[in-house]
Amino acid sequence: MDDDKIHRDIYFYLSNNSHPNHYTKDDKRELRSRASSYRVRDNKLLWKNRSGDLREVIFEDAQKQLLLKTFHDEMGHMGRERTYQKISNIYYWKRQFHDVEDFIKTCAICQTTSTFQKSPEVLHPIKVVSPWYHIGMDLITMPKSKLGNNYILTVVDYFSKWPEAVAIQDKRAETVAASLYNIIMRLGFPAVYSSDQGREFVNSTLQSLLAKTKSAQRIFSSYHPQTNGLTERFNRTLQDLLVKVCSEEQDDWDEFIEEALFSYRSGKQKSTKFTPFEIMFGRPPIQTKDSDICMSLHDDDLALSVTDLRNIRNDINQKVKENVEKSQEDQIKRSKSKIPINRIKVLRFNSRKASRKGSKMERKWLGPYVVLNVTEKGVATLRAEDGSVLSVHYNIKHLKKVQ
């Protein structure tokens, strides 16, 4: 019996206090045993996991597809793990992770905009202490928007991975310092700031702001952005999210920054195993319009005292430290990844975008193309959809399979 059929029968049993007519004695015994982990509330079947948290059970394929579309397409086209975490925090069905994976593999937007994975370099992990103790800062150059903005100031907390992003019109010291000051007034003064050696971060205006906090500014080389890797990775993710949701003219990207930030903040991080939101506030964010389900999941939070919240945050912080340390060890040991290539249909990396100034919002991947042949040295000949053969040949490391 398939899982969806079992869930329908459990719903019938709990709603009517009777078994389906076709059930044998053994079937009834097994159904009662299975149903002990479920309950019906407001005509919805809820499943209780091992932690005692309730999840709404979805057993209709159409509803599963709607949720996949809602949590992926309409929440910033996040990757497999983050999309899965967002759905699984509220809903439950068997093979949920595989369904998320299959859905994202066939997303046309994600295939043409996902970031090109460079070969990993030697890592120099930064030791984390507590939330908002150490932040990284950077600037992203963007196409000029209708509102006149040309840059994004990004700030990321090394402990919680909590990001901030502000659209600004120029990168003058006064502009950068004013935006950074507004962030600090909401979240507090960090002890350590990390940045590249760009003029906008080391001039007298910003130095004056840092002097007020009596902080040590750690300056990283602008020629080696991997040393400030957390901010660089967030920058790529933010650009991916914005290019997926902005208009074709790409002049309204600054109108979607808050949506992109919420999507990132509410996604579980691989290194911490928590969402940035949960680390900062001690509870997961509410992400569904279904207030009844939300309340059933978070009723107990309403009675928490300040002491309770402090204890919860301390527990989370300790777990984050352990998880990050383990993640950093794993990253250092991880071997160089290989890009899978299939000789049927591929996309090619847009190297023109990578080298051309002001191309942040272009597609990262072009195509699709058909691979005609590959030399022993790994150089591929490609054919476009119109049948023409490309005169330029491409190394297979710059290609990826179309799902």
Per-residue pLDDT of the chain (403 residues; tens, 9 = 90+): 577 888 889 989 898 888 888 888 888 888 899 889 899 998 899 998 887 889 999 988 888 888 888 888 766 677 788 888 888 888 999 889 889 988 888 887 777 666 545 433 344 456 667 899 888 888 898 999 999 999 999 999 999 999 999 999 998 888 888 898 899 989 988 877 777 655 556 566 677 777 666 666 654 433 334 445 788 889 988 988 888 777 777 789 999 999 899 989 988 888 888 889 999 988 888 775 444 444 444 444 445 555 666 777 778 878 888 877 777 666 655 533 443 444 578 888 887 655 555 555 667 888 889 888 887 767 888 888 888 888 888 888 788 888 7
Per-residue model confidence (pLDDT) at position 174: 84
pLDDT value of position 125: 58
Cα–Cα distance, 255 to 257 (Å, whole number): 6
Contacts of 212 (CB under 8 A, 6+ apart): none
Q: Which residues pair with 218 in a beta bridge?
A: 194
Name the token pair of 77.
Answer: 């086209």
Which segments of 188-256 does DSSP mark as H helices, in order?
A: 199-202, 204-213, 229-245
Q: Fold for domain 3-113?
A: Endonuclease III; domain 1 (1.10.340)
Which residues lie across from 153 on neighbouring strands? 139, 166
Residue 400: per-residue pLDDT = 83
Fold classification of 345-401 is SH3 type barrels. (2.30.30)
d(CA 349, CA 119) in angstroms, rounded, equals 14
d(CA 196, CA 228): 7
**pLDDT (0 to 100) of residue 204:** 63
What CA–CA distance (Å, rounded) separates 172 from 189?
22
Segments making up each domain of the chain, as ranges: 3-113, 134-333, 345-401
Token pair 């049948």 is at which residue?
Answer: 387
The whole-number pLDDT of residue 338 equals 42
Can you say how many angstroms the Cα of residue 262 is from the centroid of all Cα atoms in its chain?
10
Q: Which CATH class is domain 134-333?
A: alpha beta
Q: Report the alpha-carbon distance of residue 36 to residue 24 in Å, rounded.
A: 19
Distance CA 282, CA 310 (A): 8
Q: Which helix (H) or strand (E) holds 306?
A: helix 306-333
Q: Provide the residue type at 128 as one letter.
A: V
Question: 397: buried, middle or exposed (CB in 10 Å: 19+, 13-18, 0-12)?
Answer: middle
Q: Alpha-carbon distance 89 to 269, whole Å?
A: 14
Given this model, what pLDDT does residue 302 score? 47
What is each CA distance from 163 to 41, 56, 129, 136, 174, in whole angstroms?
A: 37, 30, 17, 9, 21
Give yes or no for a contact between 213 and 134, defined as CB atoms under 8 angstroms apart.
no
